[in-house]
Amino acid sequence: MLNPSGSSAADSYTQQITAQGIDILYRSLSRVGLVFSLMPVTTVWVMWGHINPALLIGWCVVAYLHIFSGLALVKLYLRQRPTPAEAPRWGRYYTYVSFATGVIWGGASLLFFVPDSTSLQVFILVVVVVLSIRSITFHAYWIESYYALLIPTFSLMILSMLLANEAAYEGLIINLIMGVVILVHVAQNARDEALASIRLRFENLDLVEQLRAEKEKAEAANRDKTRFLASASHDLRQPVQALTLFAHALRQELHESKALALLDDMGRSIEALNQLLVSLLDISKLDANIIKPDKTHFELQNLIEVLEAEYAPQAQAKGLSFSVKTEGDLLVLSDRILLETMLRNLISNAIRYTNSGGIEVLFKQQGDEVLAAVRDTGVGIASDQHEDIFREFYQITNPERDHSKGLGLGLAIVKRLAALLQHRIALESQLGKGSCFTLAIPKGDRAAMAHPEALPPYLGQRDIAGLRVLVIDDEAAVREGMQAVLQGWGCETILAVSEEEALEKLENHEAPHAIICDYRLREGKTGAQAIETLRRKFGMVLPAIIVTGDTDPERLREAQASGNALMHKPVRPAKLRAYLRSVQRRKT
């Protein structure tokens, strides 16, 4: 049994269906009014000369007054646009109109009955039957109006035949009664189908509304997730950035082997943490649509050697075999950095989830594509999880959330990058027997390959000595770590916590050769604003890097739109030094 609220909802739903049906009824009448308006004059024309002209004209006038009153009722309905609660009243109005229609046309069969003319009787019979059948379509939405039309129409027609008192009409009367029964049955079926179609329409609208609400809820949850990741990632990146810089500065000072070994262990821990944060950043950059592929034609061999050199020792450390096989001299058309990211994630996953056996990486040409397959003998993936594993944070064998096993972002990044590069990705896997991920990469064209420019020789550890570098960051640990690294490279450093302090410290100094600035500064200011202020002060375009720990897509878009070099915390010292070397080359 429905509770009061459920009963009220059901009543409201039924009321809406009824209102919709009556609305269709009125709008249908406005469309077929012209057809019905021709029927009285046609009837008078056929009957003229057989029936008293005064009777014909009088009947015709009544018929047209009725048609015009019906159309006036339709106009009134369309103008007032009744509420669902008012709809039944308008249904009753239409029932009265239908009853009058039945009386007028049933009266025609009675008034215009000509016993000695079979053709005229057939004409009236056909008109009445056609009217009754044609009316089913729209009267079905309010079945009472159809009964109101049908009963007087056929009752008066049968009465005219009874008054003729001829045996020949008895069979026709029986057939007419059977016809009425059939029409009632057809009308009831039409009503059920008509109301069902309205009900289905409402259910579809409800479903669309539910889907819209669920979509909005999912989008809100995704925005909340993005904001949380952005905030958490930024807060985590600050100390990791400082730790990375201090570790690098310490390595420059240490010479004792035991201390260096401990520093290597610490470096590996920092790198692991850095990789976790990089995964979060990669997802955020994809969300922000700021990754733009730079597709070029290049040989795979160098990339293959890099991957083999890096991952073979990792696999061997777990007691796994690791082999890389290539079939011929392979060229591809892709973004080298993004392709490398995808392959790294696939190989890392294979090593992580394989405990015995090994990993095989195969590159081969097939038609117009180069296939890169990463096959392992690991835990395998059940067929019902082949889609799930490409979702963010989904891991099939890490319920305890052991961060040494990653965050479950690697395959999500691979799928998104594959879509971005328009590379097909396929998976074959069997639970307990291993997996094989295959990337299909367009074949490259040797004639279209760019010839790399010769790089300047590496000048050693102090090749950027003498550069004057301004560092703006509101985190003391990051400023101090950056100073330790830069001074180790022989750079002159100026540290500031804000744009105002930077201006104050540079008041009586020459312009810095380069600026390293955090994106989010105090009081809601940004690094892009601070850099622009300094450029205006010195009247020149100062080389500048924006360093950010943000992963919020909107902040990433803002930082990229500033036009400055963009690096993400924790910045690797080697990457920072490479940028400063380019500044040094331009300066000289």
Residue 49 lies in a domain: yes
**pLDDT on residue 410:** 65
Is 317 found in the same domain as 274?
A: no
* Tens digit of each residue's pLDDT (9 = 90 or more) over 190-224: 888 878 887 788 778 778 788 888 888 877 766 66
Is 473 found in the same domain as 435?
A: no
Residue 193 lies in a domain: no
* Tens digit of each residue's pLDDT (9 = 90 or more) over 338-362: 788 888 888 888 888 888 899 999 9
404 confidence band (pLDDT: 50, 70, 90):
very low
Q: Find out whether 545 and 564 touch, Cβ atoms under 8 Å.
A: yes
Task: Check whether the bond before 570 is cis (ω within 30° of 0).
Answer: yes
Is 480 found in the same domain as 419?
A: no
Is 69 found in the same domain as 20?
A: yes
The domain boundary, picked from 427, 447, 467, lies at: 447
Q: Find out whether 414 and 345 touch, Cβ atoms under 8 Å.
A: yes
Is 510 found in the same domain as 409?
A: no
Structural domain tally of the chain? 3
234 confidence band (pLDDT: 50, 70, 90):
low
Is 443 found in the same domain as 304?
A: yes
- What percent of the chain shows pLDDT beyond 90? 6
Is 92 found in the same domain as 48?
A: yes
Find the Cα–Cα–Cα–Cα dihedral 484, 582, 571, 526, rounded to 10°: 100
Is 273 found in the same domain as 304?
A: no
* Tens digit of each residue's pLDDT (9 = 90 or more) over 105-131: 888 888 887 777 777 878 888 888 888
Phi-psi region of 523 (alpha: psi -120 to 50; beta: other; left: phi over 0): left
The domain boundary, picked from 133, 166, 199, lies at: 166
Residue 66 lies in a domain: yes
Residue 484: which CATH number? 3.40.50.2300
Is 391 found in the same domain as 309?
A: yes
Is 398 found in the same domain as 497?
A: no
Residue 80 lies in a domain: yes
Is 160 found in the same domain as 11?
A: yes
Residue 309: which CATH number? 3.30.565.10
pTM of the model: 0.41
* Tens digit of each residue's pLDDT (9 = 90 or more) over 87-109: 888 888 888 988 988 898 888 88
Residue 186 lies in a domain: no
Host domain of residue 333: 296-447
Residue 42 lies in a domain: yes
Instruction: Measure the CA–CA gap between 13 and 199, rounded to whole angstroms.
Output: 9
Is 508 found in the same domain as 465?
A: yes
Residue 210 lies in a domain: no
The domain boundary, picked from 166, 190, 206, lies at: 166
β strands within 204-345, DSSP E: 296-299, 321-326, 331-334
Residue 369 lies in a domain: yes
